[in-house]
Amino acid sequence: MDIVKGYEKEFEQLVEIYEKNTNDKSLRSTGVATIIVSGNKVVGLNSVKGMHIKSKERADGLVMIDVEIEDNTIIPIPVHLCTGFLKKRGEQILKFNYIIGSNVKVKFKSHCILTKVEKLHHYMESDMYIGKNSFVTYEDEHFHDEGGGVFVETITKMKIDKGSFFSSKFYETKTRVGRISVVMDIELLKDAKADLESKIYGREDDIIDIKEVLRLNGENSSGIAKSTVFATDRTKAHVVNEAYGNAPYARGHIECNEIVKGYDVEVSTLPLLKVLNDKAELTHEASVGRINQAQLETLMAKGLTEEDAAEFIVNGLLS
Partner 1 sequence: MLELRDIKYSKSGNEIIKGINMKFDEGKVYCIVGNNGVGKSTIGYIIMGLNDYKPGEGKIFLDGKDITELSLTERAKSGISLLWQEPARFDGITVENYLKLNRNIKKEDIEETLKLVNLEPSRYMRRYVDKKLSGGERKKVELASCILLKPKYVIMDEPDSGIDIMSLDMIVEVINHFKKMGSAVIVITHRKEIAMNCGYSYLICAGKVFLEGDSKKIVSYYEKTCDNCGHVNYLEEE
Binding residues for partner 1 (CB under 8 A): 228, 292-295, 297-306, 308, 312-313, 315-319
Question: Which of 192/225 has CB closer to partner 1?
Answer: 225
Interatomic CA distance for residues 143 and 123, integer angstroms: 15
Interatomic CA distance for residues 308 and 314, integer angstroms: 10
In the chain, what is the straight-line distance between the N-terminal and C-terminal CA atoms, in Å? Answer: 32
Shortest Å, Cβ 317 to partner 1? 5
Q: Which residues pair with 172 in a beta bridge?
A: 200
Shortest Å, Cβ 283 to partner 1? 14
3-state secondary structure of 4: coil
Interatomic CA distance for residues 88 and 114, integer angstroms: 10
Q: Give residue 240's identity as a one-letter amino acid code.
A: V
Question: Which of 192/291 has CB closer to partner 1?
Answer: 291
Question: Which of 71/311 has CB closer to partner 1?
Answer: 311
Shortest Å, Cβ 314 to partner 1? 9
Shortest Å, Cβ 125 to partner 1? 30
Shortest Å, Cβ 315 to partner 1? 8
Question: Which of 288/317 has CB closer to partner 1?
Answer: 317
* Nearest one of 220, 221, 219 to 158, comparing CA atoms: 221
Question: Which of 32/296 has CB closer to partner 1?
Answer: 296
Question: Which of 16/308 has CB closer to partner 1?
Answer: 308
Shortest Å, Cβ 304 to partner 1? 7
Interatomic CA distance for residues 7 and 229, integer angstroms: 37
Interatomic CA distance for residues 252 and 243, integer angstroms: 6
Non-local CB neighbours of 241 within 8 Å, separated by 6+ positions: 211, 212, 213, 225, 227, 254, 255, 256, 269, 270, 271, 272, 284
